Structure 1
């Protein structure tokens, strides 16, 4: 293929294709309208002084502006840094500093999210590259930065310069968990995004005439974006939720005969509880799910009995979501497991024994390593982390534990190390621990994940500095600084942490901390 065949713009030139391409809140957008909105957004970006290599932070819910900003940035040679709408001030500030974003496009308001208040808690001196905000839905919001209105669809601007031809430059930055304070930024190019989108479309044998997608995951993450791009590449109509709620999701699934959807186990559980119909979704074909909560196997059995076929998945920001999926021909128990079959025929998966460092045999658990066209370019502005994540022969070290089945598929078993899966997101304990240690009265902190009433939550242990801090005050401070799912359900004051001696020094026994947390919760 020619280089421009790997551009994002090429995804919407698919033939044949269904119209509308997208439906936002009941409003259809044809492919021609979508392409025109991209043109106008590219002209708007150029008028804001955004050009090759510039970073634009996008802090929006799922709306058409989000998608047009990504495609328009690609046209201008710019880069989009995706900001999670659940982020609070510390997380937003970290992303802005690390990305060096010149412009942030932000919501004026959305439900209970106080975008202006969160921005007000960020000192302008801490984010020196950011020049201004562009507000969707208002002329301005109270902030430390100058504001303009995002009016790309309403006001004509001079045409943008000719499209950039280099599809191998960074175009999209996802956030991912790290072992130290703040997430890393995973850089993808137009080539990695479009190649993967086409692989998914082909692997799922998508047809514009027969299929439709309910996009209910946030575009700021690879799980939501990968599905969106794949179904655009297939020419399939996509119905979009601005943010997930079970009742609107159920309504769209029923009224539009949706065939495909992707989400967490909890999303599908909430949808099913709203209907008593024995088989409420007769056109459902593939509903891919990530298992984040206890009881996911039981959910899959119930869903299967009610005609909602769930398929296990695997993915990450680094190799993109929907990297692999179960197959309809698999035994049910195998189909619902995380992992499955790689979407791309050019993807390679191997497992390395964590003890010996040698490649593991079929059926033996170890760290999953992946080589694929969907692999990321590297961690943005972090060459050391990039070097550590890639093997000498180009495989990504996932940090996940799994095993090969021997038939070309694999099983994801668990996350290596101590990263926590909270609210559907992978969270490094260090993020929460550093925020706790910055609070008055806290000398040190450790955070672990536990199952609390069927939900994954974190519990913190803190060593006091002088007078023991009050849990209420610590929680209040963390709620100002972090997304709600990262705030500990309990904070316990201890004199010290359980430790063990090893050849590499004294290590904290995080497994013992988890046991302590569960014992204390049980006693309550």
Structure 2
């Protein structure tokens, strides 16, 4: 990448030998990918997409996903990444907040019925959406006109002029909010490409020696950031359309993969499939995010079997792989969340949550970050952006951690009440609002608990006191939520209560979530 070129296009090293991507055994060279980008840019332009227009992408990991992002960058358009696990309420919120004009959607994938989910989204909820482009079919049943996404079937058009402003929004990630529905985190070509190059340099990636298994969804920063970094390094990237442990293990072993990134649960499932003492002899850096209990034991087992796990840190706002442990760190420190920032320009500090002053090394507080990878802001939400950024440009992460004193830091926990479910950060208010929209529900509170080794949520519901109305049934509430929300957000238990435990503080009456968690644990134990 040239020092003055921060475009996504600069990450495609066409002079590098070997495949850029391998999808289901089919290689795609860098030259072929560049051609697909040009075809896709021309196709988007033919659909009326231009500078500032938003295209929602609701696809599994496929070459079309990446081509759409790079093509949007060429046109000055914006891609809104849609989680394939989203259901109607989440999809409608994203489409409304992003004002997406076009959505590129899968015809079908495994058990996901995209058409049925779309059928539950009213046209009035998303007035900006004009049409759907379907991958894998000519049309799907929908309220909107459909076209086939056939960009790759058309001859390569003349090269359109590229949008030169690399600081415009180009990619929107979703992140948890404090109320119903996530905020949209806006990144530019500059923030994406500079961070990709920083990772490639920090990990000293080599096209001749290294390879990546991309097993995380492109719709999130964890999957997309690792993809862009290894593309920038000229490294061959093997892609899973969606994670499954068995094909992941096959690719890791047969193609002698050196790098992979995922959750602790993903690596746990992969290692459980083989009894080999050293199943992946070429493994160099397997970065993991710890979302489940027992991650330290997993890391120790992996280490004993020659699979080196590295703790890391990131967020949609500063991008995934913001930092990572180093090979020279002591094992116990290397596997902790946090580590060393990838960019030499990144700055991490910790603010004492009690005093508001900066905390010294070793003292826990809220992590604040300034870095080239920092987001532009929350899309169409200047108030939330102002709240998230300090006067001197640091992002208030909402995470608790401490500085080590050697340039690295430790992530300890999430501040506030946000829950980590299914590998995703979820605001309780999002689930609570859906529950409160159900007939017979007056109020609801949701907390996270450890259920059989997995983080799950439990809901407490106050029934409506209306004589003519039947009290709600837990089974009916669960069924409704399954239609409206991703599976990992559906409560494992719903308990009815007459009131929530509260405390009367100087700032008003507050619900005691700690008490609710204890109540949830006690009730589950009594079952």
Q: Identify the TM-score tier after normalising by the shorter chain.
A: over 0.9
Residue matched to 1:10: 10
In the TM superposition, 1:99-178 aligns within 5 A as 99-156=98-155, 158-159=157-158, 161-178=160-177
User: For 1:20-169, what aligned pairs fall within 5 Å after superposition?
Assistant: 20-156=19-155, 158-159=157-158, 161-169=160-168
> Which residue is equivalent to 1:183?
182
CA contact (8 A) 1:198 1:233 kept: yes
Cα separation, 1, equivalents of 2:210 and 2:2: 29
CA contact (8 A) 2:292 2:453 kept: yes
**C-alpha displacement of 1:2:** 6.7
Please state whether the residue corresponding to 2:5 is helix, strand or coil.
helix
> In the TM superposition, what is the alpha-carbon distance from 1:19 to its structure 2 partner?
1.1
> Does residue 496 of structure 1 match 2:499?
yes
**Partner residue in 1 for 2:359:** 360
Runs (4+) off by over 3 Å:
1-4, 156-161
Three-state SS of the structure 2 residue aligned to 1:201 is helix
Secondary structure, counterpart of 1:232 in structure 2: helix
- Written as runs of structure 1 = structure 2, the 5 A alignment for 1:256-271 is 256-271=255-270
Q: Is the 8 A contact 1:3 1:165 kept in 2?
A: no
Kept in 1: contact 2:313–2:339 (CA 8 A): yes
Distance 1:18 1:290, change over 3 A: farther
Mapping 1:48-447, distance limit 5 Å: 48-156=47-155, 158-159=157-158, 161-447=160-446
Q: Is the 8 A contact 1:3 1:166 kept in 2?
A: no
Distance 2:336 2:50 in 1: 44
Kept in 2: contact 1:135–1:150 (CA 8 A): yes
Q: Distance in 1 between matches of 2:253 and 2:457?
A: 36
SS of 2:520's equivalent in the other structure is helix
- Separation in 2, partners of 1:59, 1:363: 43
What is the distance in 2 between the residues matched to 1:4 and 1:123?
Answer: 45
User: Does the 8 Å contact 1:500/1:509 carry over to 2?
Assistant: yes
Q: Report the RMSD for the aligned CA atoms in angstroms.
A: 1.0
Return the alpha-carbon distance in structure 2 between the equivalents of residues 65 and 423 of structure 1. Answer: 26
Give the Cα–Cα distance (whole angstroms) in 2 for the partners of residues 165 and 9 of structure 1.
11
Q: Against the structure 1 CA distance between its residues 160 and 504, is the aligned structure 2 distance closer, same or farther, given a 3 Å change threshold?
A: farther
Inter-partner Cα distance in structure 2 for 1:246 and 1:195: 32
Task: List alignment gaps of at least 5 residues for structure 2.
Answer: none
CA spacing shift, 1:157–1:146, aligned 2, 3 Å: farther
Post-superposition CA distance 1:439-477 (Å, at most 9, x none): 001000000000000000000000000343100000000
The answer as to 2:474 corresponding to 1:475 is: no
Q: What residue is the counterpart of 2:514 in the other structure?
A: 511
> Does the residue aligned with 1:5 lie in a helix, a strand or coil?
coil
Q: Deviations over 1:344-396 (max 9, x none)?
A: 00000000000000000100000000000000000000000000000000000
How far does residue 5 in structure 1 lie from its aligned partner after superposition? Answer: 1.3
Contact 1:216 1:240 in 2 (8 A): yes
Contact 1:56–1:103, Cα closer than 8 Å, also in 2: yes
Distance change in 2, residues 1:160/1:88 (3 Å) = farther
Quote the residue 1:449 is aligned against.
Answer: 448
Give ranges in structure 1 of 5+ residues lacking alignment.
Answer: none
> Given the alignment of the two structures, is residue 460 of structure 1 paired with residue 459 of structure 2, yes or no?
yes
Cα deviation for residue 158 of structure 1 reads: 5.0
TM-score for both structures, normalised by structure 2: 0.98
CA contact (8 A) 1:197 1:231 kept: yes
Alignment partners' CA distance in 2, 1:155 and 1:53? 25
| Counterparts of 2:265 and 2:503, CA distance in 1 | 37
Alpha-carbon distance between aligned partners in 1 of 2:160 and 2:207, rounded to the nearest angstrom? 33
CA contact under 8 A between 1:97 and 1:127: conserved in structure 2? yes
CA distance in 2, matches of 1:2, 1:320: 22
Is the 1:18–1:236 contact (alpha carbons within 8 Å) kept by the matching residues of 2?
no
TM-score normalized by structure 1? 0.99
Alignment length, in residue pairs?
Answer: 523
Q: Larger deviation: 458-467 or 188-197?
A: 458-467
Corresponding residue SS for 2:413? strand
Quick one: distance in 1 between partners of 2:425 and 2:474? 24
Contact 2:2 2:10 in 1 (8 A): no
Aligned pair in 2 of structure 1 residues 334, 219: CA closer, same or farther (>3 Å)? same
Measure, in 1, the Cα distance between the counterparts of 2:88 and 2:489: 13
- d(CA) in 1 for partners of 2:406 and 2:261? 25
